[in-house]
Every structure is written in C-alpha cells, then in structure tokens.
Amino acid sequence: MKFLHILTLLLVALVAYTTAQRCPGSPRNPTCTGGHDVGRRGRGCRPRVLWHYSARLRQCHQLLYLGCGGNNNRWCTRAACNPSCTGPRNVGRRGRGCTPRTMWYYDARGRQCREMRYLGCAGNNNRWCTRAACEQRCRRRQVAYTSAQRCVGRPRNPSCTGPRNVGRRGRGCTPRTMWYYDARGRQCREMRYLGCAGNNNRWCTRAACEQRCRRR
C-alpha cells in the first residue's frame, strides 16, 4: 500500500513537470535564439499567449502566438523562459529529440558564470544562453547582496522570520529606510527603521531580502 502511494506521488510529479515543460503551442526544445516570431494563422491553429527571449534586451517578453509555425524561441511561462541564478550545475539528459548545445550556469560558490555542455532535455533553470546574460543577472545580484552586508543598521545575522519591527528611537539611533520579509504576503516590504533595537528581520536592500527569503 505504501509502495502504491509513493508510485502515485511520483507519477503526479512527473505529469506536473511535463506540463510545466510542454504546453499547447510550445516547441519540443525551446531555445533562446531567434526573433519575435508569432507564427501564422490557419485551420486548427489556436492563438495563445506564450513567451519569447529577447537576446538584445536580455529578458523575456509576452508573445501572442497565432498557433502554427514560428521558430523555437517560444516558452510556456515567463518562469520557464527566465533562467535562475540558483541551483547546481545540471547538464540535463540525452533523449529522443534532445539537442545538445553549449550553455552557461552560475557558480554561486565561485561567483562566476561557467560554460557547460547541456544535453538538450530536462535539467534545472540555472541555464543561460550566453555568458553575458548570465553575468548581467547573477553577478549584479551578488554585488547587491555583498553591499547589503556592509550597511549600517543591518543585524549580524539577518533573518526571514519575525514580524515587522521598526525598533526604537534613542540617543545615537539614526532612522533609515530598510526592508523586512512579510512571510504571509511572501514578499519583501519597506519600513522606516528607527535606528536601535528591533529584531533580525531587517535588510539593507530589497534585492538582498529577496535573494535570501523569496527562494525559501
């Protein structure tokens, strides 16, 4: 009975993963290359909103796909189109219809973008089409986080837990704008810290707060 329960959970996870990777109108192997191609209208072609990656702007934009034709720069969701700076190096797997290609991943420990040979299918979202796109997003986040560690008013060990606490006024306490993580709303919010005391749910920048707390 326990085995059947585990098997059911695995099948549900597999279906969810496959659905996230493939949706009506998405190519078998989406790529980051190719222009804004809406495809064409035709019998049996159903228009739908998808996403494409702009190499010039280095970000994803909505695409009103007409339902047929088009290129492979076409993604089901913005999340699938937008790579991530987190997660280990994952080259994916080989398989029918999987086309190996050179891509890049962000090495958080070494704080740099590294080349890898992606096998064409599966893998995680820490996968970038170019080194420039990887560095622009991930190294900028690292700089923001490092700078936040040195700011005045930051606790020794900032935390993502605890209520909003603005601290107290007092001699030598300098009020300043800081950020706290709202666990209920699952987002980082601005607050006016009074300069002394308070709890550890206090961050110098929104970027530093989001980098640590929103991935929890």
pLDDT tens, position by position, 155-198: 878 889 999 999 999 888 888 888 999 988 889 999 999 989 99
- Which residue from 154, 205, 213, 155 is spatially nearest to 184, judged by alpha carbons? 213
Q: Which pairs count as long-range contacts for 136-144, CB under 8 Å and 24+ apart, including other chains?
A: 136/58, 137/58, 137/83, 137/85, 138/85, 138/106, 138/113, 139/111, 139/112, 139/113, 141/85, 141/207, 141/211, 142/108, 142/111, 144/205, 144/207, 144/208, 144/211
- Which residue from 157, 166, 171, 169 is spatially nearest to 200, judged by alpha carbons? 157
Is the distance from CB of 195 to CB of 207 less than 8 angstroms?
no
Please list the residue range(s) of the chain that carry CATH number 4.10.410.10: 27-82, 83-148, 152-213
- The whole-number pLDDT of residue 142 equals 54
What CATH number should be reported for the domain whose range is 27-82?
4.10.410.10
CA-based radius of gyration for the chain: 22
Indicate the fold that domain 83-148 takes in CATH: Factor Xa Inhibitor (4.10.410)
Mean pLDDT score of the chain: 78
Other CB atoms closer than 10 Å to residue 27's CB: what's the count?
Answer: 15
Question: Is pTM, for the whole model, over 0.75?
Answer: no
pLDDT tens, position by position, 87-146: 889 999 998 878 888 889 988 888 888 999 999 888 888 888 888 878 877 876 554 444
What CATH number should be reported for the domain whose range is 152-213?
4.10.410.10
